[in-house]
Amino acid sequence: MVTTTRPAPRTGTPALSRLEEELAALAGAVPDPELPVLSLAELGVMRGVRIREDGVVEVSLTPTYTGCPAIEAMSADIERALHDRGIAEVSVQTVLAPAWSTDDISAEGRRKLAEFGIAPPRPHSAGGPVPVTLSVRCPNCGSTDTELLSRFSSTACKALRRCTSCREPFDHFKEL
């Protein structure tokens, strides 16, 4: 069973129907193409689902950064998942505001990143400054004695670090 958390409806925004909730759960369960250990809901990029008056199911996605190449794969995977559910017309919209932040990653998503060997980003207060990363906990041994090897790793949103205690390299999901 997939569970999703969704923000309370904004004033004037109608509540989701049961079908919209089901479709939001299906779209949210799609794995991220760059971090398949996370679903799009856990990553926090799946923003909403609504059924338009013309019957088209519209899904809103916010990329982790403008120009993210994975947004096309995410869109195609969501369309495929909803088509498999029997939805004939799906429109995936890219929404840039409000911008995605690493604070949008769910607690379960952070746990899965660490379990997968990627140091999760530290949460920061909304609207406040992004914390300067002075120490990052090694997902392998837990030490905070780590060093930066490269500001970029396999994706632009991750940095490559090495633990000086266990000597293992690991990705760190950068705070945004």
Tell me how far apart the alpha carbons of residues 167 and 29 are, in angstroms, rounded to a whole number: 35
| pLDDT tens digits for range 62-118 | 999 888 889 999 999 999 999 999 999 999 999 999 999 999 999 999 999 999 999
169-173 and 158-163: which strand pairing?
Answer: antiparallel
With CA atoms as reference, report the closest residue to 119 among 69, 158, 164, 70. 158
Q: Give 155 or 16, the one with higher predicted confidence.
A: 155
Secondary structure letter of residue 144 according to DSSP: S
Q: Which domains does the chain have, with CATH numbers?
A: 18-100 (3.30.300.130), 113-173 (no CATH)
What is the model's pLDDT at position 174?
Answer: 87
Rama region for 21: left / alpha / beta (φ>0; ψ in -120 to 50; rest)? alpha
Nearest alpha-carbon partner for 140 in 109, 161, 125: 161
pLDDT digits (tens, 9 = 90+) for 2-41: 333 334 344 445 677 899 999 999 999 999 999 999 999 9
More confident call, 125 vs 39: 39
